[in-house]
Amino acid sequence: MQTHEIRRRFLDHFERAGHTVVPSASLISQDATVLFTIAGMAPFKPYFLGQSTPPFPRATSVQKCVRTGDIDNVGVTTRHNTFFQMAGNFSFGDYFKAGAIEHAWTLLTSSLADGGYGLDPDRLWVTVYESDDEAERLWQEIAGLPAERIQRRGMADNFWSMGVPGPCGPCSEIYYDRGPEYGIEGGPVADEDRYLEVWNLVFMQDMRGESDGSGKGDFPILGPLPQQNIDTGLGVERLAFLLQGVDNVYETDLLRPIIASMEQLSGKKYGGGDHQADVRFRVIADHSRSGMMLIGDGVTPGNEGRGYVLRRLLRRAVRSARLLGVTEPVMPTLMSIVRDLMSPSYPELATDYERIEKVAATEEKAFLRTIASGSKLFDVAAADLATQHVTTLPGATAFTLHDTQGFPIDLTLEMAAEAGLTVDVAGFERLMKEQKDRARADAKARKGGFADLSEYRRLLDQGATEFTGYSELQTEARIRGLLRDGVPVPAAHEGEEIELVLDRTPLYAESGGQDSDAGTIVGAHGAAEVLDVQKVDRKLVVHRVRITDGEFTTGAQVLAKVDPEWRLGARQAHSGTHVVHAALRQVLGPEALQSGSYNKPGYLRLDFAWDQALSAATRSELEEVANRAVRQDLPVRVLYGSMQEAQAMGAIALFGETYDDTVRIVEIGGPWSVELCGGTHVEHSSQIGPVAITAESSVGSGLRRVEAAVGIEAFHRLVAERTLVSQLASTLKVQPAELPGRIETLLDKLKSAEKELAGLRAAALGNVAGTLAGGAIDVAGVALVAATAPEGTAAGDLRTLASDVRGRLGDRPGVVALFAPAHASVPFAVAVNQGGIARGLAAGELAKAVLPLIEGRGGGKKDLAQGAGTRPDRIPEAIDALRAALLTAAG
């Protein structure tokens, strides 16, 4: 049975059983404590936590998931994947243990003709929590399982929680016996390779407390939940390899074709007895699929967060291909194969393929350049080791190559072997562990319990806040709730900052990149300034206000008013963002998709997928297209429809955003700009006013940012630039049009003067070098020059001067130590010539005699060392110490 069919049967089964089919949420997690969606229940977490009321009593989904905690084990074993699909069914206070068990057993064991998976009931085992007598009884009554195929396990295996205070409960796992060829008898407690877990049923019934840190089951059970819930997870990929009769997930229909393509490119065979080659084949299959799914959901390669994970996945795939002997780019081939395999379930991968492929191919090109630059650094390090007759590359060097150049350790190992070197792997792994420990500590610091949103939920249960701001700037409303730090209060008085919830509001809550509205709320007995407006659960609008007069009480009638000037600027900026986005796609192509934005009155910023800086000509063209759209007075139309209708119109959805069943579509100039958007907009493009591009920059690999001033702010900027040009022209006594030529002439003169000055400085330093070299003294057969450089010698010139003096000492062994005292620092340089090196002298070692006396830091190699201290008064003592160290070393 093909994987797509497994998905379809699961959803059909539960839809027939009265479940609402919920599409997969984005892989970009809405939970700030994790980067990616890591479980099928993640989109439903607010319902389980009681933060919001579920819109349906039961649901089902097949959720895209990515877990990267075991990324280093991917490929090494056949059990680990980064991307996987978790099918689940969920009940929110509806059915409980009996219903969950019946639904699962029916689907697994029903015949193919009846829509089931046709698994042999006699090969199914289950585990239950050690004290869950009810679950064991239900398995016997509903499924007819004999007692010997029901095993009890402790909290570590069969009790579920989110890892923080919140809902928890026992679970029951379903296993399939693959047969004696896969391991020993005895059920899941004896061998989880033979007995493969396919489905986990979580009976969410209790609330847990804070952990005391001693172990997995170290938290108290505070009591039962207000309602009992069901959360289940069936591993689609695991079930696929069972139903397809193969040994593991890498042999299934959605991964084996990727491996086959790499067999053709590399000329090597998967499963041919070369374990390392098999590992690389599996890494390529897993990571290329995960990479495509992440790019499809809007992640772009970067140096931190989600972007770093994606970069690592793509680069590990490219690296593995190179280690298989493939030298040509592989991402275009891999992405096309993954598209064909996954698009039957995720059609957006096909429609958005051009952008996805470009992001992956661009990252591959960047990595190949990294390999080239990393190879140069490796060659320098290897050559330095050779001069020192050392055959082990330090772990710190391997870590630097990995951390700063993205250079994989296995490539370092391979190149080291080719150079006749070994690598201090233990040292490398120690530094990697320290880095991971720091990251883990940071993640732990950010992770905590969930905020108490029960009061917000109570308010939301009274109904969503009605937003009236699309059609009016003033709305009469009733105060539904007053909260101080999330706790309800009956009244609030002048000077207090509180959260205020109305039944209706014209004030826009920050979302979709648009900043929240400014305004006021006025009642019969008080007035307040609106500081911020936010949404809870996308439906409840919460106003952060400062009471400026009188008092507010719950239930009072008020008038909520938007600052009209603020709203005008906000509308201009948000519509301007859409115009700039459309202009980008017109100038650069459809792959220049927005991946984030922010706008407020007078200002907009837009991030978009692109792999190179925009030239001055391109920026001018972008600005021209945007302002022509403004001048054409294009109509701005707002429509409402289903997501399918919006997609048929070509509407662009923002990555990471969540949309309701009915979406709002903003159209500017017909099909020229069509986006899903809940923001406030102008009615005609001419109302946007001028658009002035103010900046363009990189915000990560494959991601650029443009910033622009809009409306009156753009006009002010243009006026400021005009004033600046006028002032420059007046100062230089030329017409504005003549400024470029005049400035170029002045720059040429400045360069000539700087060149002449550099020549004079070099000549002066040369004279000083001759004088210093002539004053060399003999110390144990070594010519020593140890002196203070002339006053005014810059730290940057000190190294040049020391090298020049060293060169003037001739063939005799020589050491030069120069100091350049300043008010609070002592730059220094120590140089040793070839004769001195032959005598066993090293600049870096001699510098160590100087550093303690001047309380400095520094170091270097055999021929040159440099640094700086903080005690200029102790230079004479430092010179004496250097002379003593030289006597010892040379003697």
Average pLDDT over residues 590-602: 89
pLDDT digits (tens, 9 = 90+) for 153-182: 998 899 988 777 788 899 999 999 999 999
What's the chain's average pLDDT? Answer: 89
Tokens standing for residue 18? 């009265």
Contact 680, 469 (CB under 8 A): yes
Is 681 annotated in some ligand binding site?
yes
The answer to whether the beta carbons of residues 300 and 702 sit under 8 Å apart is yes
The Cα 169–Cα 322 span in angstroms is 47
Compute the distance between CA of residue 324 and CA of residue 75 in angstroms, rounded to an integer.
Answer: 14
Query: What CATH architecture is 584-720?
Result: 2-Layer Sandwich (3.30)
280-289 pLDDT tens trace: 999 999 999 9
Domain boundaries along the sequence of the chain: 3-246, 255-387, 391-443, 454-562, 584-720, 774-890
Q: Which residues contact 304 (CB under 8 A, 6 or more apart)?
A: none
The third-level CATH classification (topology) of the domain covering 454-562 is Elongation Factor Tu (Ef-tu); domain 3 (2.40.30)
Distances, alpha carbon 264 to alpha carbons 193, 324, 357, 368, 826, in Å:
31, 11, 21, 21, 63
Q: Tell me, what's the pLDDT at 214?
A: 57
CB–CB of 784/776 below 8 Å? yes
Tally of CA atoms within 13 A in the half-sphere of 405 that contains its CB: 22
pLDDT of res. 451: 44
Q: What's the CATH code, domain 3-246? A: 3.30.930.10
Q: Is 574 annotated as a binding residue?
A: yes
Handedness of CA 146, 152, 157, 158 (dihedral sign): positive
Antiparallel, parallel or unpaired: β 20-21 and 150-153: unpaired
**Pairing of β 474-484 and β 487-488:** antiparallel
Q: Which of 535, 537, 658 is nearest to 51 (CA)?
A: 537
Pick the CATH number of 774-890 from 3.40.50.150, 2.30.110.10, 3.20.20.70, 3.10.310.40: 3.10.310.40
> How far apart, in Å, do the first and last CA atoms of the chain sit?
82
Q: How many CA atoms lie within 13 A of 308 on its CB side?
A: 8
pLDDT at 450: 40
| Tens-place pLDDT, residues 366-377 | 888 877 777 888
Q: In this structure, are residues 569 and 680 in contact, taking their beta carbons and an 8 Å threshold?
A: no
Q: How confident is the model at residue 11 (pLDDT cuts 50, 70, 90)?
A: very high
**Do 595 and 577 touch, CB atoms closer than 8 A?**
no
Tell me the longest C-alpha to C-alpha distance in the chain: 103
Distance CA 869, CA 827 (A): 6
Query: 103 labelled as ligand-binding?
Result: no
Q: How far apart are CA 685 and CA 579, in angstroms?
A: 8
What is the distance between the alpha carbons of residues 155 and 28, in angstroms, rounded to a whole number? 30
Residue 171 among known ligand-binding residues: no
d(CA 332, CA 353): 10
pLDDT of amino acid 500: 95
Tens-digit pLDDT profile for residues 370-428: 777 778 888 888 888 888 888 899 998 888 888 766 676 767 887 788 688 999 999 99
